[in-house]
Structure 1
């Protein structure tokens, strides 16, 4: 029997946690062995004071962190970046605690270099395993195995939206069987209507269903209660889709519990950068990355660009303009001057074949090198490497009147590059829809930030610079 057939016959999701735990311990202890070989070439110093005790502590604390932080949680629609970021965060906590133990227990004979090798090896092995595992899982699910059968109660826009999400990618591992509703318009649905509310029990009793999603309004509480009882009777896991649209038009909300978890409170959106730890990580990355760029690139590239700008046209080398920053506070944004000096620079956006753009300026814009001075803004603290692009004050005022949620993008620091830019929303905004798309991507970034997402955006930005962007002018 092939592996895929075995996966089709049995359900292994309940054993993932145990499997992850055992495999992580294998990787951890492999890293311990490798670190010894890297530093000493043999195991003669395995009995160094505290070495065995520290290895035991490393195992115990890693187990504790994984179980406490629920690192094995696998949400089928979760991005791999989120899984990797969660693992990196736990690894950082683990290294900090182990370092504390070394100091407190006075394990002075423990080689610091060996600890560097240990964590470097462990980090690489963990990342490789997590990525390979997710790709394997996606492949298995794309072949039709390890899937969950789902029904949706509520053939309405909310139910159809959930259907599209679950059916969007076969690798999510969901198979939507259909809808149940007393009233429905089948022409608008992408899955069949299996029956009315009264038909649910008969369907559950004769079919193996794993999950039920209930997309009904709260005024149908009697139906919801009956569905809950049926799911418990037939061992079907029930998921409720609250109708938050009665409170807000946004699709991203967060429920937090106050008073020892007794009172649920609905928050408009989740903002990872409101967490102090995340904000510190982003600030450290901004500072280190900007400092590297300034030391390694500015030192030789700036004199060349300054010379080219000066001989190409009269005027200052830098163009400084007031832009909208975090909390909509204005700040001076630095750029290389790419236009002839003109009176419309603060109000008129650059257009394709704009006569104001110099020959050197066209090259700088095409390669995005005109934005390089903004790394100084990052060091000054009024910009980030990655974030929503800062707009002219006049544009902020204009579009905040036209787009209701436009100012939401100002909740975080503006960036040199951003999620909207690497997805094609850069340059001139000819139509309102262009700005709407940019705002939607900026808000998505705000709600889904992770350190790995920032690295991904930086990578995509570098790739686009070398490939060229038709919107860069």
Structure 2
């Protein structure tokens, strides 16, 4: 606790860049030493001219990449997988540069195998350090240290949305003190106190320790915004503006481009990561090999067992094939193990809790998600992905697209066997419209935030849920 109190007295950001850089260089040079030990069993070759030159270049380029790619930055609300993705991408760039130098300078005495050892060791140490550091930082913030005091100007839906984002996870280290507004929105339920109007802001800043101010005001409040900027500069409070771009679009993610030598900002829909060809290739290659692995090493022995159990339990086909909505809202035949008695309502009515149509073996298959295994063939055929928004019945797509404005946005991506909505509790029966709205919100978030590491995280959480069970899996 004494250490935590000491840490609370300082701002990590003041010394973080230097500390991050120094520790990364310690890891890098440790990896170099380990690579010599793995390859030669000793450090006798460390002082060779070629080896010293490449080691020096490795240090120089890593320092350059750290600052150029801004890898040392840590956004308090940033996910760990985003930080890891950035680190892995930077490591690949570093490896490409060093490999190019080895080839161009014709360093024949540089062992290629030793370089493999170096990058494997450096990767393992980097990833473990990044995860460990984030865990420590989260623990410190959870204890109430290294926190930032926040005020929000604008007691409206935009301001409250920011409040929820900042306070959703205590490990982010944000403390929202409250809101300021002359005319609070009566339709918005605030989850933090209303501290006063615009005229009370200066008094509050002079008597309280405030680190950041978030301004969630409409653009027509120009005079107020200019006054806030002057106050924040006077009291050394960092001011951040939340643009009310949702007056133009309902999207939660937009992209700002600068035209005319960077002088004119232009707001546009943010491109989804999977619109980038390289990302699509990565996802497609992973889908192919992962589904092939499951089919060869799991489905091959599991299928005969389940086939017998399904047949013994009830008459009817082994598989249930249903037309479902795919990418670009195009229908495709979705494969599942049959979990119900043969009935006429299967293509119209969702399964409900204690549904009499579900067989005994079907209940087990649904609870463990084993009924979805045939969809790995859909992945091989290109109709689905391992991870993505779950495909719905055609009738449900038609129904909910009329009730929820952005429902069809989830069809920008291939449907998945599992998805971000499912691992966050939005699966199974949608009793209320809010259930489907929550699912759509999570599906769109996935489309706008896709990364390979996010897919891996979802697959892992799905795997854990299979063994833990899910009360909504019926």
Q: TM-score, normalised by structure 2?
A: 0.90
SS in 1 for 2:221: helix
In 1, Cα distance between equivalents of 2:156 and 2:460? 40
Contact 1:154-1:215 within 8 A present in 2 as well: yes
Q: Which residues of 2 match residues 250-329 of structure 1 at below 5 A?
A: 250-269=251-270, 271-329=272-330
Deviation at residue 406 of structure 1 after TM alignment: 0.9
In 2, Cα distance between equivalents of 1:319 and 1:33? 57
In 1, Cα distance between equivalents of 2:298 and 2:99? 35
Deviation at residue 267 of structure 1 after TM alignment: 3.0
Question: Once structures 1 and 2 are overlaid, which stretch shifts more, 212-221 or 226-235?
Answer: 226-235
Deviation at residue 343 of structure 1 after TM alignment: 3.9
* Residues 1:408 and 2:416 are matched in the alignment: no
Note the residue ranges of structure 1 that are not aligned, 5 or more in a row.
none
In 2, Cα distance between equivalents of 1:280 and 1:13? 37
**Inter-CA distance 258–414: structure 2 relative to 1 (3 Å threshold):** farther
SS in 1 for 2:383: coil
In 2, Cα distance between equivalents of 1:92 and 1:334? 38
Contact 1:49-1:109 within 8 A present in 2 as well: no
**Inter-CA distance 101–324: structure 2 relative to 1 (3 Å threshold):** farther
Structure 1 runs, 4 residues or longer, greater than 6 Å off: none
CA-to-partner distance for each residue in 1:95-149, whole Å, 9 max, x for gaps?
3333344444444554343333222221221122112211222222233332223
Deviation at residue 246 of structure 1 after TM alignment: 2.0
In 2, Cα distance between equivalents of 1:28 and 1:100? 19
In 1, Cα distance between equivalents of 2:364 and 2:195? 60
Note the residue ranges of structure 2 that are not aligned, 5 or more in a row.
none
In 1, Cα distance between equivalents of 2:155 and 2:345? 53
* Residues 1:73 and 2:73 are matched in the alignment: yes
**Inter-CA distance 30–398: structure 2 relative to 1 (3 Å threshold):** same
* Residues 1:160 and 2:160 are matched in the alignment: yes
* Residues 1:466 and 2:467 are matched in the alignment: yes
Question: Once structures 1 and 2 are overlaid, which stretch shifts more, 124-133 or 282-291?
Answer: 282-291
Partner of 2:423: 422
Partner of 1:335: 336
Question: Once structures 1 and 2 are overlaid, which stretch shifts more, 241-250 or 391-400?
Answer: 241-250
Deviation at residue 227 of structure 1 after TM alignment: 1.7
In 1, Cα distance between equivalents of 2:96 and 2:129? 23
In 2, Cα distance between equivalents of 1:167 and 1:352? 34
Deviation at residue 384 of structure 1 after TM alignment: 1.0
Partner of 1:235: 236
Q: Which residues of 2 match residues 433-452 of structure 1 at below 5 A?
A: 433-452=434-453
Partner of 1:84: 84
In 1, Cα distance between equivalents of 2:185 and 2:328? 44
**Inter-CA distance 97–310: structure 2 relative to 1 (3 Å threshold):** farther
CA-to-partner distance for each residue in 1:177-207, whole Å, 9 max, x for gaps?
3333334489954444444333434444454
In 2, Cα distance between equivalents of 1:283 and 1:292? 14
Partner of 2:385: 384
Question: Once structures 1 and 2 are overlaid, which stretch shifts more, 426-435 or 248-257?
Answer: 248-257
In 2, Cα distance between equivalents of 1:191 and 1:351? 38
In 1, Cα distance between equivalents of 2:145 and 2:103? 50
**Inter-CA distance 12–343: structure 2 relative to 1 (3 Å threshold):** closer
Partner of 2:182: 182
Contact 1:39-1:114 within 8 A present in 2 as well: yes
Partner of 2:227: 226
In 1, Cα distance between equivalents of 2:310 and 2:109? 58
SS in 1 for 2:437: helix
In 2, Cα distance between equivalents of 1:154 and 1:427? 38
* Residues 1:61 and 2:57 are matched in the alignment: no
**Inter-CA distance 49–370: structure 2 relative to 1 (3 Å threshold):** farther
**Inter-CA distance 166–299: structure 2 relative to 1 (3 Å threshold):** closer
CA-to-partner distance for each residue in 1:154-188, whole Å, 9 max, x for gaps?
23333333334333343322233333333448995
CA-to-partner distance for each residue in 1:232-260, whole Å, 9 max, x for gaps?
23332211122223223444434333444
In 2, Cα distance between equivalents of 1:174 and 1:313? 56
Contact 1:253-1:268 within 8 A present in 2 as well: yes
Question: Once structures 1 and 2 are overlaid, which stretch shifts more, 406-415 or 107-116?
Answer: 107-116
Partner of 1:126: 126
Deviation at residue 448 of structure 1 after TM alignment: 2.5
* Residues 1:368 and 2:372 are matched in the alignment: no
SS in 1 for 2:46: helix
CA-to-partner distance for each residue in 1:289-324, whole Å, 9 max, x for gaps?
222212221332223333444454554433332221
In 1, Cα distance between equivalents of 2:469 and 2:200? 57
In 2, Cα distance between equivalents of 1:330 and 1:185? 43
Contact 1:201-1:230 within 8 A present in 2 as well: yes
In 1, Cα distance between equivalents of 2:354 and 2:210? 59
CA-to-partner distance for each residue in 1:335-390, whole Å, 9 max, x for gaps?
22333444443333333444444444333223222211211222222211111111
In 2, Cα distance between equivalents of 1:396 and 1:109? 63
